[in-house]
Structure 1
């Protein structure tokens, strides 16, 4: 802010809180000097890419309305630096040819190009220029789901759940089968990654061979137990 902006802001402070206004001209000048020094890099107003624009007078009003303590220049500068950091974070930092018609956008980047980028960032940081934000490419709007699509989706979910239940039951069957033969169960647990085996075989040929051996033994035991 220039000194005139700070003086106008202090006049607004005294209007909202006249009981704390300086009693003498000398005290008023000292306060003006201190505030002008602290608020040198603070903009009186600045745009925000989402419409949450900065206005120093709003910060003053909010503080006086909500705080029992006298307002200090840092009560204005701290929110400003937080606002500026947020705006800079949102700024894409890209070269905008429309803002610099004197620079050929197809030419190789040179001093003028980089100077324009620096100038743009400085202007955004000072609140003199709105931030240029890049827009994410979002998905196209989906059409409402038809009854047939809803049925197909529900049927797919049903089949997936049924497949999961069948796989779980098969794992339980294999685990119970192999557990009947301690030597086979020990061999299964010695396989890499099978120390806590719960019946799944997947594509592991050695695990499948152990299960096949357990099935063969179980079948042989069943035949032996059948009466002749």
Structure 2
């Protein structure tokens, strides 16, 4: 802020808290100079959410003490820190072999974000929205985001899932699509077997490669009800 903006800020604060008003011309000039010395690098407002008048009003709303320049500078520091924490450096347009230009572009981008003149680059965040049309068409062609060759290579490392996928591909029932009444595994989770200690107590559980027979029968019964023609 320059001297004119400092004077405008003090006039705004004076309307909210008359204790800050200086009627003597010399005292008013000294007050403006002191605030400028402490807030010269703090902008009055930016295009992305910062406004010194809002910070002053919030302080006057919650604090019984007369406002000081630190009560404006402190929120500005928090504002800068928050914006840089949410910023992900985009790839500079400069030549990567030109290290000076590369670093200069990164520094200028960070300064613009910290000063409120540019929005943080959040291109690495998970965003909502529908998939790209090309991706949807590709998924319809292959049926899954995992190619068949990769799925075949992964089968030895996840036998329960491989058996489930093979059964579904043959048109059979999905045993993991129902809740297991024996081990209480929820739908979509593999069955588990208990580990019994020497004293007969359960020491833990481990996933089974195959579902319990009762679960298979329950899935088959539901499959028959849903597809009577296949039965």
How many residues align? The count is 159
Alignment deviations for residues 168-199 of structure 1 (CA, whole Å, 9 cap, x no partner): 4x727x635xxxxxxxxxxxxxxxxxxxx967
Alignment deviations for residues 84-108 of structure 1 (CA, whole Å, 9 cap, x no partner): 00001111122354xxxxx4x5x53
Larger radius of gyration: 1
- Equivalent residue number for residue 37 of structure 2: 37
Are residues 160 and 3 of structure 1, via their aligned partners in 2, closer, same or farther at CA, if it must alter by over 3 Å? Answer: farther
- The separation in 2 between residues aligned to 1:18 and 1:139, in whole angstroms, is 48
Query: Secondary structure in 2 aligned to 1:161?
Result: coil
Decide whether the 8 Å contact of 1:93 with 1:117 is kept in 2: yes
- The separation in 2 between residues aligned to 1:133 and 1:65, in whole angstroms, is 33
Name stretches of at least 5 consecutive residues in structure 2 with no aligned partner.
Answer: 131-173, 186-190, 207-231
- Equivalent residue number for residue 78 of structure 1: 74
- Equivalent residue number for residue 2 of structure 1: 2
- The separation in 1 between residues aligned to 2:180 and 2:46, in whole angstroms, is 52
Name stretches of at least 5 consecutive residues in structure 1 with no aligned partner.
Answer: 98-102, 142-150, 177-196, 203-228
Decide whether the 8 Å contact of 1:175 with 1:199 is kept in 2: no
**Equivalences for residues 85-96 of structure 1 within 5 A:** 85-96=81-92
- TM-score, L = length of structure 2: 0.57
- The separation in 1 between residues aligned to 2:110 and 2:51, in whole angstroms, is 20
- The separation in 1 between residues aligned to 2:203 and 2:59, in whole angstroms, is 67
Q: Give the counterpart of 1:63 among 59, 65, 81.
A: 59
The structure, 1 or 2, with the larger RCO (C-alpha pairs under 8 Å, 6+ apart) is 1
**Pair 1:161 & 2:184 matched:** yes
- TM-score, L = length of structure 1: 0.57
Alignment deviations for residues 47-69 of structure 1 (CA, whole Å, 9 cap, x no partner): 44xxxx11111111112222211
- Once superposed, what is the RMSD of the aligned Cα atoms? 3.4
**Pair 1:175 & 2:199 matched:** yes
Which deviates more from structure 2 when the two are superposed, residues 27-36 or residues 126-135?
126-135
Query: Secondary structure in 1 aligned to 2:178?
Result: helix
Are residues 130 and 137 of structure 1, via their aligned partners in 2, closer, same or farther at CA, if it must alter by over 3 Å? Answer: closer
